[in-house]
Amino acid sequence: MEKRLFDPSYLDCADLAHGWHAFTQMQEYAGFPQVHIASGQGCWIYDTEGRHYLDTNASIWTNVHGHNDVELNAALTNQLSAIAHSTWLGLSHPNGALLGKQLATLAPDGLTRTLYSDNGSNAVEIALKLSFQYRQLTGKPEKTCVVGMENAYHGDTFGTMSVSDNPTFHGRFAHWCFEKITFPAPQCSEWNGVEHSADDSRSIQFLIDLFEKESSRISCLVLEPWIQGAAGMRLQPRYFLRTVADLCKAYDVHLILDEVFVGFGRTGDFFVCKQEGVTPDFLCLAKGLSAGYLPLAATLTTEKIYSAFLGTFDSYRAFFHGHTFAANPLASAVALKSIEKLDTMIKSKQLKNTIRYFGNKCAEVFEGHPHVAEIRQRGLACALDLKPVDKDPSRRFPIGERRGFKVCMKAREYGLLLRPLCDSLLIVPPLIINSAEIDFLFENTRMAIEETLAN
Ligand SMILES: Cc1ncc(COP(=O)(O)O)c(C=O)c1O
């Protein structure tokens, strides 16, 4: 049985006969060699055939301290020997309580309350529902509308699809989604710590006009601050968030910040909002919260919002939304240890130095590269838009040629597990990546690009 489990052809058959992978055209998937991941160590993951790859997307943007980290493992197994799961519905446990306190300490002043769930979509869904219910409880039920930014991605539940702006992912389900107002995204070109161009005037003017006319019916505005990850690492000017926050405050619009991707060190500190001196009404966290170990998410909010929900049982002011594995003790144990380790990485400047090296190396390899139309990089997040070698810099490959995908398949031969978004390569390594691994990452990405796109 043991042997069969790790026999790649047996796994291929089981996977192809019974698996259905998310965000994957299964017809295409079946035509390529399958990779079955068996183990991981640091930034590397190993398949069942003994090949190893650099985890260049941090296992979908979650991994902070690498795989199989000794201290995170110890935190997990210590908790495992006590209890694996106990509900958070009306019951508490030490890890959940301590993590709530820790998050309140790390977050901008005023975000004192944590509602747990188990994935990023739910963290945003909860923030939306809290905002809507708060409006009902405080005598403004007419404030029902949501504002979201162009190209946003907040998840795949109906609430989060409604406030996202990704017709490729969600267009088919528009009929079942609720109304929202989309405002134009700002423009920002940045890599290697230099903002090459930035303009948020259209976005800000749109919001001013909108709030001036319609704020009486708007409950909240949802934003991925600094970087829209799933839109292909689209960046915002750094001061943009502060302006949006000021407008929201002035017009009584709740600000929901979705830091599911950018939180927990991705941009050099725990949270973007803290770096910008902004306290949102809701802060949504997941992914790096539990360092890529186990599902865990949190929605933080203020005492003002929290206290509106208080009352007797039969006032029915309570928030009727919860998930079975919310605040799972194992995940919370890992989160507590991960936060302690990340704090050291930030205070010691290790993370800052890694980001600087990452940006430098990216620029060294890809600035002016004939197959790269645009680099977008801030923190340990980078997108490279691929293009044909052509005098016209705006020309792109026909989408059906699947060039980005083919580059990623080629990259496997060079020891990289890369994920494309159409013809953009998204590079999001674990935060502990070292300089030799960064060199390996960018040099081998370049070789995979050149070998694939030359033909
Ligand atoms: C900014 C942002 N919000 C929400 C989500 C959804 O998170 P999950 O996949 O955990 O539901 C994602 C996922 O990539 C994300 O990037």
List pLDDT tens digits, range 97-126: 999 999 999 999 999 999 999 999 999 999
**CATH number assigned to the domain covering 73-346:** 3.40.640.10
- Ligand 1 centroid–CA 61 distance in Å is 9
Residue of minimum CA distance from atom 4 in ligand 1:
154
CA atoms of 434 and 423, how far apart (whole Å): 27
- Ligand 1 centroid–CA 233 distance in Å is 13
Statement: the pTM of the whole predicted model exceeds 0.85? yes
State the pLDDT confidence band at 352, using cuts at 50, 70 and 90.
very high
pLDDT at 265: 98
pLDDT at 73: 98
Q: Which of 287, 290, 421 for a ligand 1 pocket mutation test, highest count of atoms within 8 Å of Cβ?
A: 287
- Ligand 1 centroid–CA 73 distance in Å is 25
Residue of minimum CA distance from atom 3 in ligand 1:
154
- Ligand 1 centroid–CA 155 distance in Å is 5
Nearest to 382 by CA among 322, 347, 427, 351: 427
- Ligand 1 centroid–CA 408 distance in Å is 22
Residue of minimum CA distance from atom 16 in ligand 1:
261
- Is the pLDDT score of 93 beyond 60? yes
- Ligand 1 centroid–CA 173 distance in Å is 18
- Ligand 1 centroid–CA 58 distance in Å is 14
- Ligand 1 centroid–CA 5 distance in Å is 31
pLDDT at 1: 40
Burial of 398 (C-beta count, 10 Å sphere; 0-12/13-18/19+): exposed
Residue ranges per structural domain of the chain? 35-56+351-453, 73-346
CA atoms of 189 and 193, how far apart (whole Å): 10
Q: Residues with beta carbon inside 6 Å of ligand 1? A: 119-121, 124, 153-155, 224, 229-230, 258, 260-261, 286
3-state SS, the chain, equals CHHHHCCHHHHHHHHHHHCCCCCCCHHHHHCCCCCCEEEEEECEEEECCCCEEEECCHHHHCCCCCECCHHHHHHHHHHHCCCCCCCCCCCCCHHHHHHHHHHHHHCCCCEEEEEEECCHHHHHHHHHHHHHHHHHHCCCCCCCEEEEECCCCCCCCHHHHHHCCCHHHHHHHHHHCCCEEEECCCEEEEECCEEEEEECHHHHHHHHHHHHHHHHHEEEEEECCCEECCCCCEECCCCHHHHHHHHHHHCCCEEEEECCCCCCCCCCCCCHHHHHCCCCCEEEECHHHHCCCCCCEEEEEEHHHHHHCCCCHHHCCCCCCCCCCCCCHHHHHHHHHHHHHHHHHHHCCHHHHHHHHHHHHHHHHHCCCCCEEEEEEECCEEEEEECCCCCCCCCCCCHHHCHHHHHHHHHHHCCEECEEECCEEEECCCCCCCHHHHHHHHHHHHHHHHHHHCC
State the pLDDT confidence band at 194, using cuts at 50, 70 and 90.
very high
Count CB-CB contacts under 10 A for residue 450. Answer: 14
**434-451 per-position pLDDT tens digit:** 999 999 999 999 999 999
- Ligand 1 centroid–CA 121 distance in Å is 6
Quickly name the fold that domain 35-56+351-453 has.
Answer: Aspartate Aminotransferase, domain 1 (3.90.1150)
How is the beta sheet containing 44-47 ordered, strand by strand?
37-41, 44-47, 52-55, 416-417
Q: Which of 124, 125, 154, 223 for a ligand 1 pocket mutation test, highest count of atoms within 8 Å of Cβ?
A: 154
CA atoms of 62 and 47, how far apart (whole Å): 19
Average pLDDT, the chain: 96
CA atoms of 261 and 265, how far apart (whole Å): 10
Ligand 1: atom nearest CA of 297 is 10
- Residues 178 and 212 sit within 8 Å (Cβ to Cβ): no
Tell me the mean pLDDT in the region 296-314: 98
Q: How far is CA 269 from the centre of its chain?
A: 15
35-56+351-453 shares its CATH topology with 73-346: no
**243-292 per-position pLDDT tens digit:** 999 999 999 999 999 999 999 999 999 999 999 999 999 999 999 999 99
Ligand 1: atom nearest CA of 60 is 14
Token representation of residue 341 = 């380790």
Ligand 1: atom nearest CA of 224 is 1
